[in-house]
Amino acid sequence: MAELLKNFVSGEWVAGHGPGTVLHDPVTGAELARVSSDGLDLADAFSFARTMGGTALRALGYAKRAGMLGEIVKVLQGNRDAYYDIAIANSGTTRNDSAIDIDGAIFTVGQYAKWGAALGERNALLEGARAKLGKDGAFQSQHVLVPTRGVALFINAFNFPSWGLWEKAAPALLAGVPVIVKPATATAWLAQRMVADVTAAGIVPHGALSVICGSSRGLLDALKPFDVVSFTGSADTAATIREHRAVVAHSVRVNIEADSINSALLLPDAGADSEAFGLLVREAVREMTVKSGQKCTAIRRILVPQSLYDAAAQAIGAKLGGVTVGNPRNETVRMGALVSRTQYDAVREGVAALRAQADVLYDGSNRPLVDADPDIAACAAPVLFGTRDPDHAEIVHRVEVFGPVSTLMPYRDLDHALALIRRGEGSLVVSIYGADTRALAHAALELADSHGRVHVISPAIAQQQTGHGNVMPHSLHGGPGRAGGGEELGGLRALGFYHRRAAIQAETAVVDALAAAPFVL
Ligand code: NAP
């Protein structure tokens, strides 16, 4: 039987009861490991994290915690090769795709180490300017942010076992809040291994970092006031969490990153021979194929002026024709597997559903897989859909197929394009392609209310741009409405979620004394 991965709770490695759930290689079907959270004393685990972890972290202050993040970076760097091995086996990703998860995580922790160092040896932040409350100004109000004295529970999706952990843990640990992570079961191995390496290195205090692999049963019941939950996953699970008795009863702060139907928009003035057109085509293909389209930020809808619909279909289809799919261990393979056969079935179902309202413009599924058995491997080929009537093809604005699938659609004028994009009802990211900087800025502001991030691409920054789907720690990650309404990252803004805000009303000398210590956020 495959090894049963232990959980790290209450400062100890503990095996769950029973045979557990098996983790598979999505390409070969081989059994890799097992996980079980059955029988864990969750109340004790949470209490240990709050008391031991929280107290120790708060005693450090921001700058020392930033130093701790720097040490975490070194540990993760030192074990990178092992992480790549786990990713290829458990996530079925190519080296380039694994890098987004692994090196993306290390980069993000490194950024927070840098930003955190500037906060100094203190444990509270000022927010905004002070306000005079009385007529003579002697009585004043100042908002402060202090670390919450609870635990940060992370419930993560399967697609980014590494980045999903660290993009949340870096700001939480910097804020002085202990972390309990429950990775998605299918790919829990990588997160569990990273926690094991970091705890073995002895650089985080006891109780500051715990990992629970396997079922989520009982986790939410353990929540208390001042705890926070950060969730990434489907809208259905998000709804369950929001409605959970403990979350409601204790007013537990919850951040949700859910699914979304992100768009790419080519502005009306672009021609088929323009650089903007080429940039949109390249990015659409990249977004469909990176991590086999299993990215919450992936482009699901591609909007082009009516006159360019055929040219765009041809150009995207031609590039997709060059994408080899199969076993990521073969160096000629450009796109690896989906995360599991269950996801493979879900993608097939999604493709079948889209077929009812959209045309297939490109379908790579008749090409043989490289080094992979189609009856076993969770390898799905890219499929480009198109609809000439996007107003009535409601499904393309509603259904997220979490795989290498996207839909091309024509628009009449900018207002029509903006209205179509808004039918996503709130998304993580939209990218806009064009050369007219005023038109780009106008479209960006028009779409800013319904997106957490607007990625504006003009020829001048074609080489330097960071990519539609790449989540940079400097920028906000999260989106309104359907995307979950969450906010992560965005530089030091991320600390807000892990702090409590309070207004201190006092005489000027007391407010002066506050200001002597903390940093102004
Ligand atoms: P999921 O089924 O909702 O699972 C997400 C996490 O929730 C997993 O850890 C899962 O554990 C756990 N979970 C399931 N039921 C739960 C419950 N009743 N209470 C508490 N936790 C529970 O989502 P998924 O299939 O892993 O992820 C795919 C979806 O996530 C896609 O729709 C994608 O768009 C979205 N996503 C969004 C973002 C973003 O940043 N916005 C990023 C990545 C993915 P088990 O694995 O043990 O079931």
The predicted pLDDT at position 516 comes to 66
Residue nearest to atom 28 of ligand 1 (CA): 233
487, 476 Cβ separation under 8 angstroms: yes
> Given the CA of residue 478, which atom of ligand 1 is nearest to it?
41
Whether ligand 1 lies within 6 angstroms of the CB of 157 is answered as yes
Ligand 1 centroid to Cα of residue 258, in Å, is: 8
The predicted pLDDT at position 201 comes to 98
The predicted pLDDT at position 134 comes to 85
> Given the CA of residue 21, which atom of ligand 1 is nearest to it?
47
- Enter the pTM of the model: 0.96
The predicted pLDDT at position 161 comes to 98
Rounded distance between C-alpha atoms, residue 10 and residue 199, angstroms: 12
Ligand 1 centroid to Cα of residue 234, in Å, is: 5
Rounded distance between C-alpha atoms, residue 241 and residue 215, angstroms: 14
The predicted pLDDT at position 451 comes to 98
The predicted pLDDT at position 518 comes to 62
Residues marked active site are found at 257, 296
Whether ligand 1 lies within 6 angstroms of the CB of 428 is answered as yes
Whether ligand 1 lies within 6 angstroms of the CB of 407 is answered as no
Handedness of CA 103, 106, 109, 111 (dihedral sign): negative
The predicted pLDDT at position 520 comes to 62
Ligand 1 centroid to Cα of residue 342, in Å, is: 14
153, 227 Cβ separation under 8 angstroms: yes
The distance in angstroms from the start CA to the end CA of the chain is 52
The predicted pLDDT at position 521 comes to 60
> Given the CA of residue 159, which atom of ligand 1 is nearest to it?
43
Ligand 1 centroid to Cα of residue 54, in Å, is: 26
Which residues in the chain show pLDDT less than 70? 516-521
Burial 373-400 (b: 16+ CB within 10 A, else e): eeeebbbbbbbbbbbeebeebebbbebb
Ligand 1 pocket test, candidate residues 155, 168, 290, 291, most atoms within 8 A of CB:
155
| 368 Cβ neighbours under 8 A, 6+ residues apart | 374
- Beta strands at 139-147 and 499-507: parallel, antiparallel or unpaired: antiparallel
> Given the CA of residue 237, which atom of ligand 1 is nearest to it?
3
